[in-house]
Amino acid sequence: MWRDIQGSNDWHDLIKPLNPILREEIIRYGELVGTCYKAFDLNPSSKRFLNCKYGKASMFQKVGMASSGYEITKYIYAAPGISMPTQQDDAGQSRWIGYVAVSTDDESKRIGRREILVSFRGTATSTEWLANLMSSLAPARFDPTNQQPDVKVESGFLSLYTSDDSTCKFSQGSCREQLLKEVTWLINQYKGEELSVTLAGHSMGSSLAILFGYDLTELGLNRIYPSREIPVTVYSFGGPRVGNSNFKDRCNNLGLKVLRVVNTCDPIPKLPGVIMNEGMRVIGGRYELPWSDSCYAHVGVELSLDFFKLENPKCVHDLETYIRLLKYCSMIENVEKSEDPWYEKAKEIVARNKMIHVWPWQDAARQVSDLVQSLGF
């Protein structure tokens, strides 16, 4: 059922209740995104500052995911293309943003197809935060033969995706150019096999994943003529809005599948467009307003994680929070079925979470982590 899990039917009947196979896949992609944070070097005194700490061949092993089932083929770099008002250590520099990988033969047998995976980390530097805060819309214009000026995206994300740093020692070209070249090459390499393209990202990284998914499908690079189309799916964790309503409609028309995993308490998915969003496009569900093209709109299907409530913004947006609590929810269901004595302890933590408005994150995380380890999940 891999095509259903990848959204061929827009995850119909898989969200409520959350299908256990889909849950495991979401966790798996979240952990693959998490490797980007673990491997990113933020030490200004390091020779690998703003780069990956490890080489492609050893990265998964170094971050504790030696059995990931993927081989990294390329590291991806991005330049914000934004001028900071003051001099910053990361201003103007190209930085490591993620990787392209392909499933191994054994993993391909397990998941039912060869998978090309692109994983993006989220915001980690000051210039990236500035890019997140740029709320103006700009035409994407990715297809030179059909520029569609009404299809607009957030200018900061667009800058990060398309800007080039000619001084970068590790790559040539913009993030966009690197991705198109590598993924197109891999599609050609494996075109004789059952194939899928999966893009996964957290926060700002989910915006880049959606932009690249749109770019790839808009240019038709996922089509193998005469009639074969490779499915392209985005797994977004805590991602903001990326473009306007026309961008959303275009992604839908192109068949780009996006599953947005969001915590209802996380403020980032509510940005940009806190006011000017999809809710302001029409009056009474019938009359489209004249400024609707300037309204941001989320793309895809939402999976809302409303089973935990935290007020600390760093906690509610943290990728590890998403992953741990998805595992935790799965764990509760599993131990309930097996009548494990630890189930009572699990219920106690859940009940405490629901009873108080603020859940002390460090204590809760420690309890959940200990419980998960004790149960062998």
Integer Cα distance of 163 and 233 in angstroms: 24
| Amino acid found at 180 | L
- Are 99 and 77 contacting, i.e. CB atoms less than 8 angstroms apart? no
Torsion over CA of 25, 326, 75 and 6, rounded to 10 degrees? Answer: 30
Whole-Å CA distances, 296 to 80, 82, 276: 21, 22, 6
Helix (H) or strand (E) holding 189: helix 175-189
- Strand 301-305 and strand 257-263: the pairing is parallel
Cβ neighbors of 368 (< 8 A, separation 6 or more) are 324, 325, 328, 349
Cβ neighbors of 360 (< 8 A, separation 6 or more) are none
- Are 251 and 258 contacting, i.e. CB atoms less than 8 angstroms apart? yes
Query: Helices 155-162 and 204-218 meet at what angle, rounded to 10?
Result: 70
Residue 105 sits at φ, ψ, to 5 deg, of: -60, -45
- Are 100 and 76 contacting, i.e. CB atoms less than 8 angstroms apart? yes
Is there a catalytic annotation at residue 143?
A: no
Residue of 171, 203, 206, 245 marked catalytic: 203
- Are 213 and 258 contacting, i.e. CB atoms less than 8 angstroms apart? yes
- Are 247 and 273 contacting, i.e. CB atoms less than 8 angstroms apart? no
Is there a catalytic annotation at residue 266?
A: yes
Query: In 88-182, at which residue ranges do the beta strands (DSSP E only) sit?
Result: 95-103, 114-120, 137-139, 152-154
Residue of 171, 245, 317, 318 marked catalytic: 317
What count of Cα atoms within 13 Å lies in the side-chain half-sphere of residue 274? 4
Residue of 165, 215, 266, 318 marked catalytic: 266
Is there a catalytic annotation at residue 317?
A: yes
For the annotated catalytic residues, the residue numbers are 203, 266, 317
